[in-house]
């Protein structure tokens, strides 16, 4: 049976089993891991189906698409939305206050814009770290992280929760382990607890290395639709 047999409810059940098993291997409480269903380009009907199946956190990569989905759902039937893509500075006001966590923050300029846009409760964020030094990926270099952490902590309206990374692409679910381990070590250095890492192909490895938030799309919703 493939990972995508059955409907969303059965896929979610299978993922929760794998989360529990990964937590057992690493001596962790499964409740310490937040499963974020990545729903970029997926229709609202599938998000509602996932909500009915018990999924309570949704990840989006495109700000305009996310806002449309958030506004279309009643508060009592709306999951916590996470923004996991690259946020442009000129979209900071649109994003502020709408998301449980903004996961991909990587510059002082963007932090300043989010701070200026904040008008109520502080906006939780995670700083994206480009551990693989890949030109194709966003994120702050590890050597520059200390300055960005300090800046985030100095600003009103910002709540720094942790770090986020996307390791170099690989078909091997274990290949991300050194990158996940490095992010965990960096988080400890700065006294941060949140670790947003791990996707459909490697979330179990990420959990074993301390992930608190895993971002799983294909294994829940299937292949992405067209924008």
pLDDT of residue 6: 65
Q: What is the pLDDT of residue 128?
A: 98
- What does the pLDDT read at residue 225? 52
* Inter-CA distances, 198 with 99, 176, 215, Å: 20, 8, 6
Other CB atoms within 10 Å distance of the CB of residue 80: 13
Q: What is the full per-residue pLDDT of the chain (227 aa) written as tens digits?
A: 334 456 999 999 999 999 999 999 999 999 999 999 999 999 999 999 999 999 999 999 999 999 999 999 988 889 999 999 999 999 999 999 999 999 999 999 999 999 999 888 899 999 999 998 888 899 999 999 999 999 999 999 999 999 999 998 888 889 899 999 999 999 999 999 999 999 999 999 999 999 999 999 999 998 765 33
């Amino acid at each position: 049976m493939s990972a995508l047999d059955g409907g969303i409810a059965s896929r979610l059940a299978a993922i929760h089993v794998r989360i529990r098993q990964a937590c057992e291997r690493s001596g962790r409480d499964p409740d310490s891991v937040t499963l974020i269903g990545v729903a970029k380009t997926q229709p609202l009907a599938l998000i509602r189906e996932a909500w009915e199946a018990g999924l309570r956190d949704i990840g989006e990569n495109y700000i305009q698409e996310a806002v449309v989905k958030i506004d279309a759902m009643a508060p009592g039937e709306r999951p916590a939305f996470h923004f996991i893509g690259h946020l442009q500075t000129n979209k900071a006001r649109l994003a502020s206050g709408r998301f449980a966590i903004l996961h991909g923050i990587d510059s002082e300029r963007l932090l300043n814009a989010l701070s200026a846009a904040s008008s109520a409760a502080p906006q939780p964020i995670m700083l994206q770290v480009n551990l693989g030094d890949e030109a194709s990926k966003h994120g702050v270099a590890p050597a520059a992280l200390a300055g960005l952490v300090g800046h985030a902590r100095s600003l009103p309206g910002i709540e720094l929760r942790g770090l986020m990374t996307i390791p170099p692409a690989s078909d091997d679910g274990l290949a991300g382990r050194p990158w996940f381990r490095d992010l965990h070590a960096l988080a400890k250095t700065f006294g941060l607890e949140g670790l947003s890492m791990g996707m459909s192909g490697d979330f179990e490895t990420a959990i074993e290395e301390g992930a608190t938030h895993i971002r799983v799309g294909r294994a829940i919703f299937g292949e992405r639709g067209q924008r």
